[in-house]
Structure 1
Amino acid sequence: MTRNLFVLALTLVLCMPSHAQGLRAELPILGEDGSRVANHKIAPDRVAAAEKLPGAVVAANPGGDVTLVEFYDLNCPFCRRASADVDALLKSDKKLRLVLVPFPVLGIPSILAGRVEIAVSKFLPPADFYRYHRALYAGRGVIDGQRAMNAAAGFQLDLQKILDAANDDGITDIMKAHVRFADTLALKATPAYLIHDVAIQGHPGQKSLKRVIDSVRRCGKAVC
């Protein structure tokens, strides 16, 4: 990656919130081990607002009846597991709508990869972008800018155009917009999910997410 891209990444990482600990659990949402998962109530219109963020992508089932917004860092190990669980939910629930919001908070490699990923989103239709997003998690090790570029090579993209877009100052503005929005909702952990009237911080597991989704359909609340 270019020196300019590195400098822009360094500038942005200084603005990122730290990975959160000790968050509250306002609603009785339980993880796989039976413990409460950090969460707090939000206004339902925040889900639609998140979807309008400049780097957000409606990645699956645009006509779905329940929207799941995921804020993620490509190098968060919990996000890797979350991505697989969300993918399984999408395959079993064709009415689940997924919105992806890049939220790189774990250092420069994450930001470099995030810049490339946002650039790629400008050149691929949403369904193909989702396949690219999933491809980034293939294999082990750190996901950095070069790895994100290597993954883009499998989608018949002009890599120089991707690199130029990733270097653009507009990507920095997009990332800062995501940080500012996340700050308004006190999102301090990855992954973080918005579902109807709740923000969930951390990955509660596939079954727990399904319970929340089912509750929204049943009673219009994250917890009935």
Structure 2
Amino acid sequence: MKRLLASVALIAAAFAAPAQAFDITNMSDEERTAFRAEVRAYLLDNPEVILEAYQIFESRQAEIQAKAEQQMVQAYAKQIFEDPNSWVGGNPDGDIVLVEFMDYRCGYCKKAFDEVNQLLEADGNIRFIVKEFPILGEQSLMASRFAIATRMVAGDEAYHKVHDALMTFKGNIAEKSLVRMADKLDLDGDAILAKMSAPEIDKILSDNHNLAQVLQISGTPTFVLDNTLLKGYVPLANMQELVAAARAD
């Protein structure tokens, strides 16, 4: 209802704007009543105008929101794009940067996983950054702690293997399943498990959550492409179009 009233207000303003000969605030009661009747009659005869005005209103609001998000990304660019605690994949020297806030238990993150990999492989010039952002319960948190601990214990290549394994994992996340995963990947599961409670990991996760909060990110996956926030799953074809547009800017 509020949005509808805003649309009607826009229409009324459109009627009033060209009329430079009178000041609507100085109308008499009779003039104001007549004006309102004319506006009402016009809207009843042309209801499509309300939809048109509402669409314009929505478009302008979206532009305002996008600009605010771009300014926020620019303000926190160092934390987003230059965080040494976030794993970097794709082409580290790529001309476009794609950041993903993700959760290993998120169905849409898993759906996007293959398509993001296809994008990186086909393009070959995208720097990809992963932000561990566990928001879906204890298993999500355990999975992220395991991935970060792997990177601390065994390095970036091991993290990449664990990240991919967790993204395709379909069972429950527990110590036993994580140890089996580590063994399968020829990693020291005991050393990784021992590292999972390190305060450094607490800080990394806290920093990621704080960054997500200031960027108004509440769900996964959320991508940052150039200066643009992309909230939710984005199909491969659309992502390719967005990358091309970012390069063109």
TM-superposed deviation, 1:202: 0.6
Q: Please, what TM-score do these two structures have when normalized by structure 1?
A: 0.74
Match of 2:86 among 19, 33, 56: 56
TM-superposed deviation, 1:54: 5.5
Instruction: Report the residue type matching 2:219 in the other structure.
Output: A
Between Structure 1 and Structure 2, which shows a larger proportion of helix residues? 2
Task: Report what 1:214 is aligned to.
Answer: 244
Q: 1:71 to 1:43 in 2, by over 3 A?
A: closer
CA offset digits 1:124-174 (Å, max 9, x no partner): 443442232112233423344543333222333222221111021221121
Match of 2:62 among 23, 26, 42: 26
Q: 1:215 to 1:127 in 2, by over 3 A?
A: farther
Question: How far apart, CA to CA, are the structure 1 residues paired with 2:76 and 2:123?
Answer: 23
Report the identity percentage: 25
Q: 1:93 to 1:171 in 2, by over 3 A?
A: same
Question: How far apart, CA to CA, are the structure 2 residues paired with 1:117 and 1:216?
Answer: 30
Stretches of structure 2 lacking an aligned partner (at least 5 in a row): 1-60
Native 8 Å contact 2:161 2:185 kept in 1: no
Task: Report what 2:131 is aligned to.
Answer: 101
Q: Please, what TM-score do these two structures have when normalized by structure 2?
A: 0.67
Task: Report what 1:132 is aligned to.
Answer: 162
Tell me the SS of whatever aligns to 1:183.
helix
Tell me the SS of whatever aligns to 2:127.
strand
Instruction: Report the residue type matching 1:200 in the other structure.
Output: L
Instruction: Report the residue type matching 1:216 in the other structure.
Output: A
5 Å-filtered alignment, 1:2-151, equals 26=62, 40-41=69-70, 42-44=72-74, 46-53=76-83, 55-151=85-181
Kindly indicate whether structure 1 or structure 2 has the higher relative contact order, using CA contacts under 8 Å at least 6 residues apart: 1
Stretches of structure 1 lacking an aligned partner (at least 5 in a row): 1-24, 28-38, 220-224
Moved over 6 A (4+): none
Question: How far apart, CA to CA, are the structure 2 residues paired with 1:154 and 1:51?
Answer: 32
Question: How far apart, CA to CA, are the structure 2 residues paired with 1:155 and 1:56?
Answer: 21
Native 8 Å contact 1:59 1:129 kept in 2: no
Larger radius of gyration: 2
Q: Does 1:184 align with 2:184?
A: no
